[in-house]
Chains A and B, each alone.
Chain A
Amino acid sequence: MQSLTKTFRVQPRDFVKAGEASLKIQRLLKDIGFDPTLIRRVAVCAYESEMNVVMYGGEGKILLEVSAEKISVITDDDGPGIEDIEKALQEGYSTAPPEYREMGFGAGMGLPNIKKNADLFEIRSGKGDGTTLVMSFEVRQ
Chain B
Amino acid sequence: MIEKLPSATEQQVNYVRIDEDKCNGCVLCMKVCPTKAIRVRDNHKAVIVGVCIDCGECVKVCPRGAVEPIINLTSDFEEAPYKVVSPSTAIYAQFGPDVMPNDVLLALKKMGFDYVHDQSYTSEMFNVAIELYVKENHEHGHSPWPLISPVCPVVVRLIRYRYPSLLKHLPPLATPREIVAREAKKRLSQKHGCSQDVIKVIHVTPCAAKMICIREPFFLERSYLDAAVGISSIHEEIIRNLKDLEEDTVLHHSGGIGLGWGMSGGEIAGLHMNCLAVSGLSETIKYLEQIEMGLLTDIEYVEFRMCTEGCIGGPLTVVDKYRAKHRLQTLVRLFGAERRVKYEYVKNLYDKGWFLAEREVEGFPSERSARDIKAEIRRRNQIEKILEHLPRKECGLCGSPDCETFAEDVVDGRSSLDKCVFLDAKGKEKGLQ
Smallest distance from the beta carbon of B403 to chain A beta carbons, Å? 15
Contact A26 B371 (CB under 8 A): no
Interface residues of B: mostly helix, strand, loop or mixed? helix
Interface residues of A: mostly helix, strand, loop or mixed? helix
Q: Which of B26-34, B209-217, B376-384 contacts A (4 or more CB under 8 A)?
A: B376-384
Q: Which chain A residue has the least Cβ–Cβ distance from B378?
A: A2
**A44–B378 CA distance with the chains assembled, in angstroms:** 25
- A residues 46-84 in Cβ contact with B at 8 Å: 47, 66-68
**A43–B289 CA distance with the chains assembled, in angstroms:** 10
Q: Which of A33-41, A93-101, A127-135 contacts B (4 or more CB under 8 A)?
A: A33-41
Assess whether A120 is interfacial by the CB under 8 Å rule.
no
Give the number of residues in A that approach B within 8 Å (Cβ atoms).
24
Interface residues on B, range: 20 to 34
Assess whether B43 is interfacial by the CB under 8 Å rule.
no
Q: Per-position contact with B for A4-36: 1 when CB-CB < 8 Å, else 0?
A: 101000000000000100110011100111101
CB-CB < 8 A to B290: which residues of A? 19
Contact B293 A139 (CB under 8 A): no
Given contacts A33-B368, A40-B165, contact A47 B377 (CB under 8 A): no
Given contacts A43-B294, A44-B293, contact A68 B377 (CB under 8 A): yes
Q: Which chain A residue has the least Cβ–Cβ distance from B376?
A: A32
**Contacting B293 at CB < 8 Å: which of A23, A31, A33, A34?**
A23
Given contacts A2-B378, A31-B380, A36-B164, contact A47 B371 (CB under 8 A): no
Smallest distance from the beta carbon of A87 to chain B beta carbons, Å? 25
Assess whether B374 is interfacial by the CB under 8 Å rule.
yes
Contact B369 A26 (CB under 8 A): no
Assess whether B292 is interfacial by the CB under 8 Å rule.
yes
Contact A33 B165 (CB under 8 A): no
Assess whether B425 is interfacial by the CB under 8 Å rule.
no
- Which of A27, A32, A43 counts the most B-chain CB atoms under 10 A from its CB? A32
Contact A4 B377 (CB under 8 A): yes
Contact A32 B165 (CB under 8 A): no
Q: Which residues of A contact B (CB under 8 A)?
A: 2-4, 6, 19, 22-23, 26-28, 31-34, 36, 39-40, 43-44, 47, 66-68, 139
Q: Which residues of B contact A (CB under 8 A)?
A: 164-165, 289-290, 292-295, 368-369, 371-374, 376-378, 380-381, 384
Known pairs A4-B377, A47-B295, A66-B377 / 14 extra A-B pairs, C-beta < 8 Å: A4-B381, A23-B289, A26-B289, A31-B376, A32-B373, A32-B376, A33-B368, A33-B376, A39-B165, A43-B293, A44-B294, A67-B377, A68-B372, A68-B377
